[in-house]
Structure 1
Amino acid sequence: MLGDRRDTRAAIAAPPEQIERGVDYPATPVDAALLCLALDPRDGSEFKPAAIGSAEPLSCMTMQENTVTSTIVIDAPPARVWAVLTDFANYPDWHPSLEVLAGQAERGSALHMRIAAGTPAERVAEGEVLEVEPDRLLVWEGGMKGLLWGRHTFELTADGTATHLVNTESFTGAMAADVLTASRALLEAEFAAANEALKALVES
């Protein structure tokens, strides 16, 4: 372990690619947060700043990751649910809080989204589609790197003639914990409302 906090301060100031992974930098909670913020939020899992006074290192992902999940059963086969989820252009017709302004349901497609549409928290974000497995899995990510970055997953599973849908978003970044503490109930309500709107459209 590096024993001098000057090493930690040097790492905070260094470009991300020069921050050595696998090193237990001694860190106060503030130092640890700054080190995590210095890294790409998707690259924190192998970096563990050691908290001063603690015998265990703190993982950036452990400190920063927060997840919101909502599930629902839709009385329709996965193919019908999938057709609606991947028709981004029509999200404004049914989704209560998300508009996909540009992008396709194709792996690697760039997304331009309006999040929390129609609320005081409305904002525009850029993202990218990461995974597309027809009738089973759709994953994208986006937001503000280092501050509030979300990975959104729709997972579909056949349940007889119906579909069990898991709608999840994992948030990372320096603002993630505070945002989830202040807004978890609102986010959970938004996710549940989106699920219900999807169900109503698919079953109609």
Structure 2
Amino acid sequence: MAKVILFNKPFRVLSQFSDTEGRETLADYLSAPGYRAAGRLDYDSEGLLLLTDNGSLQQQIANPKHKQWKTYLVQVEGEISDDALTALSEGVALKDGSSLPARARRIISPDIWPRHPPVRERKSVPDSWLELAIREGRNRQVRRMTAAMGFPTLRLIRRQIGDWDLAGLAPGEFRTIDVHVAQSTKPRRPRPPSRRRR
């Protein structure tokens, strides 16, 4: 059994336990010796961050080759169009290559906690929300995808990773769960027969 901490990372908190520049870190919210973050969440993003005390599980969660779905609530500048949602779903051309097909849908403004500081409002420019799920882990990928469609991201909240979600967690809160880690099924190489000297 391994333990996993589900943490609702607030805005402008680093996904690590120390910082040389005096910024807020995970250590300001929880004490978890022996735990490491399974993947990252940008300083200016919010929401679900997973930490575990098991190295194999950390790799299963964080390594992009396992293609865990990560679901985000995304507030963008402008009224997101059907064409943009279709393009996001099919894959977007980025500087480091096209993104994999995603799941994208328009949503009404979600009932979530206020951000501190709040997103700057511009009365002349509307905003809208979408739910976007991706299976990759490129640097600032969601922000780059929406920007490529002409809809800059204003606020980004990770709601879910695989089957784990934020349910019941306010910013800065966490809960710990036990997770069964399957043993590797990789076959062992047969050992060559030993030779005895006579």
* Same-fold status (TM-score > 0.5): no
Higher percent of residues as strand: 1
Work out which structure has the larger RCO, using CA pairs closer than 8 Å and 6 or more positions apart in sequence: 2
What TM-score, normalized by structure 1, do the two folds share?
Answer: 0.23
What TM-score, normalized by structure 2, do the two folds share?
Answer: 0.24
Higher percent of residues as helix: 1
